[in-house]
A and B are shown apart, each in its own frame.
Chain A
Amino acid sequence: MSALKAFRAIVKREFFSYFVSPLAYVVLTAFLLIQGYTFYLIVLALNQPETPRTALMSLFFTSVFYWIFMMLISSVIAMRLLSEERKTGSIEALLTAPVSEATVVAGKFAAGWCFFLFLWLPTVLYPVLLSRFGTLDWGPIASGYLGIALVGALFISAGTFASALTKNQIVAAIIGFVFILGVFIVGVFRDFVTDPGWRDALSYLNLLEHMDDFARGIVDTRRILYVVSTVVFFLFLSTRALEANKGR
C-alpha cells in the first residue's frame, strides 16, 4: 500500500518536473512539427484514390526517418530520470525514504512513459478531424495507439536503464539511444536470416511489423507479452544498476 503511495508520489513529481525544464518544450515542439508534417502527408496520400483506407494509422509509421525520431525523443525523455538525481545527490534523500530501489525505478519509468504518451495526446485531434470528412474505423485507430504506447514503454525502459548507468545526462542519452537502436535493430535482422524458425521468431521482435499489425487492428498477445517482458527486464537491470551505483 505504502509502496503504491510512494510510487504515485514519485511519478507525480517526476512528470511535473518535465514541464519546468526547457527540454520538455523543445521535445514537445519538435514532436508536434514532425507529427503535423506527417499528418499533412497522410492527408495528401488520402487524396490519392489508390491509397488503402483500412490502415490509416500505419501511415504514421512507414518511414524509417520517423522511427529514428521516435528513438531520439525516447532517449531524450529518459536520459534524466535517474542520472540527474545521482548527479545532484538528491538520490540520497530519496533512497533513505522508506521506498525500495525498484519502486523508484518503476516510478521514474512510469513518469517518462506518461510524458511520452502526453506527447501523443494532441495527435488524437487528427483522426477526429479526418472523421468529419468521411467515416473512420475507430478500432484500428485505438489499437494503433495501443501499439504506440507499447513501443514507447519499450524505448523508455531501455532509456531508463541507460540513465541508471551514468551520472551524465548526455552520456545517458547516447547510451540510451544505442540501447533503443539495438532493440529496434534486432527485429530488422528478420530480413537477413533464411531459417524459417528464426524468421518467425525475429518477426515478433520486429517493431515495424509490430506497428503494422497494431495499425491494422491486429492485437496479438504475443507482441504485448514481448514488450511487457522486455520492459520488466530493463527495469530489473535498472534497479540492480541503481543498487550498485547509488553511493558513488
Chain B
Amino acid sequence: MLEVQGLSKSYYGTPAVEDVSFRVETGEILGFLGPNGAGKTTTMRMITGFLPPTAGRVLLADVDVTEKPLEAKRELGYLPETLALYPEMRVREYVAFRAELCGVPSSRRRARVDEAIQKCFVDDVAGKPIGNLSKGYRQRVGLAGALVHGPKVLVLDEPTVGLDPRQIVKVRDLIRDLRKEHTILLSTHILPEVEVLCDRILIIDRGRIVAAGTPDTLRQEMSQAPAVTVVLKGEVSEADSILRQLPGVTRAARIGAGGETRVSLAGAAGSDLRESVFREVVTRGWTLLELTPRQASLEDVFVRLVSRDAAAEVDTMPGVDADAPTPAPGTERPQ
C-alpha cells in the first residue's frame, strides 16, 4: 500500500539518499533502521511529499505523491521527527483542527476527534494546552492529529525518541494496535524497537539500503559465522585446543573458570558445529552439560552492516535506554 521506487535525493550534487526502493503491504509494520544521518528523515520527507525527490517516485495507496499530492496526502498520516505542535492550542482543538484541515466532513468530525483522542490515550488531557504537556503526551497528541482523518498509511519518524521507558511502552503498544487498520512505516535507530514492533526491517546507511528482511531472516542471513557455547563437567584442560581442530571450527576460546569448562566456538559460514562437537565429546568421554547455539543478535548484524564511523556511534547508542542524546538539529550533519 506504500510503494517507493528508486527514490534519490541529492543536495548540490551530494547524494543524501540513493536509489531506495521498497514496498509496505497493508497491515504491515516496516522498520526503517539506520544510524543518525543515514537518510531516514530525508527519505520519509520525500515519501510524505514534503521534499521533492531528485529521482524516483512514491505511491501512497496507489497514488503518486508528486503527481497528485492532495489526493495522495489524504491517505497519509505523518508524525515528523521534530514534532512541532501549536503550544497555545488545546489538545481537542488541535485534533479538531487537523480533522478540518484534512477534510473530515463536519458531520463526522466530532466522532472522529473523540475516537482519535481515545485511541491515543490523551482523553485525560483533552482540555489542556499542548504547551503544558509532557513529551510523551505531545507525541501521542501528534499521533492523534496524524490519524484523525483515517489515513491508510502512517509514516512515523522516530516516534519514541525522548520518551521515558513507561511512555515508550505505551507508544509501542499504541503502534502495535494501529497496524490493524494502517500500513505503517516507522523509522528508528533503536534496535530493540524494531525487533518488538516490526514485521520487516530495512537497514539504511549513507543513503542506501544495505539490508532488508524480517528480523529472523536478517539475523540468519547475516550471521555468517555460527556460534556455539559448549559447557563440560569438571576441569578439562585441553578442551579448547582439541575442539579447535574439529572441521569447520575457526575459533575456540575458554571462557570463565571454576568447576565447569566453558568453551566458545565459532565456525565457518554455512557449517553446523553441533554434531561434530557432540561426537567429539562422546569419543573423549567428557560429560556434556550444555551445547547452546548462539544467535547473532540484530545488533551484530547492524554493526556489521553500517559503516565504521557510524558503527562507533551505534556502540555508544544505548539499546535498551531509548533516551539517546540526539544531536541538536543545527549540529546534525545533513541527512
Interface residues of A (CB under 8 A from B): 1-3, 5-6, 8-10, 12-13, 17, 20-21, 85, 88-90, 92-100, 246-247
Look across to chain B and name the residue whose beta carbon is closest to the beta carbon of A20: B88
Chain A contacts of B69 at CB under 8 A?
98, 100
Provide a sorted-by-A list of 26 A–B residue pairs whose CB atoms are within 8 angstroms.
A2-B103, A5-B103, A6-B101, A6-B103, A9-B101, A13-B86, A13-B97, A92-B45, A92-B82, A93-B78, A93-B142, A93-B145, A93-B146, A94-B101, A95-B49, A95-B50, A96-B48, A96-B76, A97-B101, A97-B102, A98-B70, A98-B71, A98-B102, A99-B70, A100-B69, A247-B45
A92 B84 Cβ-Cβ under 8 A: yes
A96 B97 Cβ-Cβ under 8 A: no
B51 A247 Cβ-Cβ under 8 A: yes
Look across to chain A and name the residue whose beta carbon is closest to the beta carbon of B52: A247
Knowing A13-B89, A88-B84 touch, does A5 contact B100 (C-beta < 8 A)? yes
Complex Cα distance, B102 from A8, in Å, reads 11
Chain A contacts of B100 at CB under 8 A?
5-6, 8-9
Complex Cα distance, B70 from A93, in Å, reads 14
0/1 string, B154-183, CB within 8 A of A gives 1: 000000000000000000000000000000
Complex Cα distance, B79 from A89, in Å, reads 12
B84 A96 Cβ-Cβ under 8 A: no
Complex Cα distance, B74 from A99, in Å, reads 9
Complex Cα distance, B86 from A6, in Å, reads 17
Complex Cα distance, B48 from A100, in Å, reads 13
0/1 string, B69-107, CB within 8 A of A gives 1: 111011010101011111011000000011011110000
Complex Cα distance, B145 from A246, in Å, reads 21
Knowing A13-B97, A96-B50 touch, does A90 contact B84 (C-beta < 8 A)? yes
Number of contacting residues on B, CB 8 A? 29
Complex Cα distance, B89 from A214, in Å, reads 39
Name A96's contact: one of B78, B82, B86, B89 (CB within 8 Å). Answer: B78
Chain A contacts of B50 at CB under 8 A?
92, 95-96, 246-247
Q: How far is the CB of A199 from chain B (nearest CB, A)?
A: 46
**Quick one: which of B140-154 are within 8 Å of A by CB?**
142, 145-146
Name A97's contact: one of B45, B82, B98 (CB within 8 Å). Answer: B98
Chain B contacts of A92 at CB under 8 A?
45, 50, 78, 80, 82, 84
Q: How far is the CB of A90 from chain B (nearest CB, A)?
A: 4
Complex Cα distance, B100 from A10, in Å, reads 9
Which 8 pairs from chain A and chain B are nearest by CB? A2-B103, A9-B100, A90-B84, A89-B84, A20-B88, A98-B73, A88-B84, A96-B48
Chain B contacts of A97 at CB under 8 A?
73, 98, 101-102
Chain A contacts of B71 at CB under 8 A?
98
Complex Cα distance, B106 from A6, in Å, reads 12
Complex Cα distance, B76 from A92, in Å, reads 13
Choose among B82, B89, B101 the residue with the greatest number of A CB atoms under 10 Å from its CB: B101
B88 A17 Cβ-Cβ under 8 A: yes
Q: How far is the CB of A39 from chain B (nearest CB, A)?
A: 33
Chain B contacts of A20 at CB under 8 A?
88
Chain A contacts of B89 at CB under 8 A?
13, 17
Chain B contacts of A98 at CB under 8 A?
69-71, 73-74, 76, 101-103
